[in-house]
Structure 1
Amino acid sequence: MTIPSLDPARPVLIAGPTASGKSALALAIARAQGGVIVNADALQVFAGWRILTARPSPRDMAQAPHALYGHVPVDGAYSVGHWLRDVAPILQGADRPIIVGGTGLYFTALTEGLAEIPATPDQIRAEADTRIADAGIAALLAELDPDTAARIDTANPRRVQRAWEVQRATGRGLAAWQDATPPPLLPLARTQPLVIDAPREQLNARIEARFDAMIAEGALEEVRANLSRWDPAAQSAQAIGAPELVAHLRGEISLDAAIAAAKTASRQYAKRQRTWFRSRLKQWPRWRPDW
């Protein structure tokens, strides 16, 4: 794989949609220049999903230091605040960090700062859940302040619910909290950022081929091993393919239907990522992979 021209002394940030080759690029850079590869994917942190979230393989992890992969229990909770606390000591280490992932919020929190928003009270969370059950996520979206509604990913129900909970609990919109953020851990000017600019049709083909490879590698068996503790409300349940394969294992749909639904969900997720990157990572240089 051809790698971009980089200063081996400066941190590297690699963002990109699912299946775009981010991990392979990070590993190629680490092999050529050294450094520790740091996960910035909100689902690759969970221990239960190695195959399904496309975490680096044991062979890849043996070729370069890796950090923040699979260190959270599958039934645990993990936020961008947790990730910032985990990544902070890595930034102070001797190895140059190569931070790679598809969770754009991790990158903006790292390079722009994260608002110190109070935790959401349980009763507010329950109220939000009830509202969604009764009227859908659109009911919460309609009540957000205009600045917040214009800033968040309104296609992501969890982001909408989080913004509504903040506004309901604090009386202040999420955008206002974000505008009062402390200094970032790693300002963008100190890094070498890039967004993988993957052609849509080629990316969709890679998404389909990768999910077939996951099934061949044992993704269904991985889901079966986690079935006894499956909780659709858990954060880790957002892993694409997990709900579909759970439905198959419970006899609700065929394996072919589960695979087709998971591929569709992956393509939709990649589209949301590309849209988010265009909106929020405008200053980042684009890099076209040579697959």
Structure 2
Amino acid sequence: MDENQKLLVIIGPTAVGKTKLSIELAKRFNGEIISGDSMQIYRGMDIGTAKIKHEEMEGIPHHLINIKDPNESFSVAEFQQLVRAKITEIAQKGKLPIIVGGTGLYIQSVIYDYQFSDVTGNQDFRKKLEERAKEIGNEALHQQLKEVDPVSAAKIHPNNVRRVIRALEIHHLSGENSQNGNKQEMEPDLLYNAAMIGLTMDREQLYERINARVDLMLLEGLLDEVKHLYEQGLRDCQSIQAIGYKEIYEYLDGRISLEQAVENLKQNSRRYAKRQLTWFRNKMEVKWFDTTNVKIFSKKIDEISHYVEGKLQVKSNTY
């Protein structure tokens, strides 16, 4: 990676205003936007992932949106590879690459020296472990990992079955523990000349915005969007685990009422926002800007622009 390559990163919890800011900064700094959201990659999942609409882009090119079908899997290692290539491609056009999103691990994997195991998967072995987890329970499977790979077991919660299975799979296939296969120093090297902008706001106001966004999603047709996926028979897919889809699936399965599904969706979105903030504050060096007072958002954009100019030594096209 090129340590001199300039990169702007805009992160923050869901519904905080990242999209609006990213468009303004892309216009000011001649940038192109790369989505840093792990679910906006899926076609046909527009409303529930709060995907930017074409008219909202204001002519700014956007990348890594609508590149996969909902039945396809997508890994953080694949994201890392695709985004790094996009950064190079955008820079070669003389433009500023701008990563915008809320999926912390994905963004972290791109900008830091974060290496992934080259151990390929074994579908049959994984299936056996999935069945075994159902038979013996999460704790017992985690205990199995503890016996062969105590280092990884100490870092993975027993209820994170997917990661427990992956760690067992890596050990089974290579004899390595998954921490060796997923090398990340305590203080990993930053691979780009990056300005990392974080947006935050008063928690109660953020939660109100999240609730209002869910209501708007329903008005825009979220139920029909999810029904379309449901009727295609999509079920045990990575995409359907996304907030906004799994809750509606429970309603369509007849397990809960629509009212309860909506309440669950709002609650899960609020909890996700809280987890996002915790992740970014603990894992990345971010310059935070409070956007609680949306009435002075234009002034806040000016403030952020000045920070970016100083950090990256670039000039803005203010108008």
Q: 1:159 to 1:204 in 2, by over 3 A?
A: farther
Q: Is the 8 A contact 1:43 1:238 kept in 2?
A: no
Structure 2 counterpart of 1:238, one-letter code? Q
Question: Whole-Å Cα distance in 2 between the matches of residues 99 and 189 of structure 1?
Answer: 12
Q: Which runs of 5+ in 2 are unaligned?
A: 295-319
Q: Once superposed, what is the RMSD of the aligned Cα atoms?
A: 2.6
Q: Does 1:177 align with 2:173?
A: no
- State which of 281, 287, 290 in structure 1 corresponds to 2:289: 287
In the other structure, the counterpart of 2:300 is: none
In the other structure, the counterpart of 2:222 is: 219
Q: Is the 8 A contact 1:46 1:72 kept in 2?
A: yes
Question: Whole-Å Cα distance in 2 between the matches of residues 279 and 113 of structure 1?
Answer: 16
In the other structure, the counterpart of 1:35 is: 31
In the other structure, the counterpart of 1:129 is: 130
Q: Does 1:120 align with 2:116?
A: no
Runs ≥4 in structure 1, deviation > 6 angstroms? none
Aligned-residue sequence identity (percent) comes to: 34
Question: Whole-Å Cα distance in 1 between the matches of residues 88 and 162 of structure 2?
Answer: 32
Question: Whole-Å Cα distance in 2 between the matches of residues 278 and 54 of structure 1?
Answer: 23
Shift of 1:16: 1.8
Q: Secondary structure at the match of 1:191?
A: strand
Number of aligned pairs? 279
Shift of 1:152: 5.5
Residues 155-209 of structure 1: per-residue CA shift (max 9 Å, x gap):
754344433433343332222222379xx9x935511113333433222222111
In the other structure, the counterpart of 2:96 is: 96
Q: 1:20 to 1:152 in 2, by over 3 A?
A: farther
Q: Secondary structure at the match of 2:68?
A: coil
**Please, which moves more after superposition, 159-168 or 123-132?**
159-168
In the other structure, the counterpart of 1:4 is: none
When normalised by structure 1's length, the TM-score is 0.85
Q: Is the 8 A contact 2:77 2:116 kept in 1?
A: no
Q: Which runs of 5+ in 1 are unaligned?
A: 1-8
Shift of 1:135: 3.5
Q: Does 1:13 align with 2:18?
A: no
Q: 1:203 to 1:132 in 2, by over 3 A?
A: farther
Residues 35-65 of structure 1: per-residue CA shift (max 9 Å, x gap):
1110111111111211001111121134311
Question: Whole-Å Cα distance in 1 between the matches of residues 255 and 114 of structure 2?
Answer: 44
Question: Whole-Å Cα distance in 2 between the matches of residues 42 and 61 of structure 1?
Answer: 19
Q: Is the 8 A contact 2:7 2:192 kept in 1?
A: no
When normalised by structure 2's length, the TM-score is 0.78
Question: Whole-Å Cα distance in 2 between the matches of residues 112 and 198 of structure 1?
Answer: 30
In the other structure, the counterpart of 1:191 is: 194
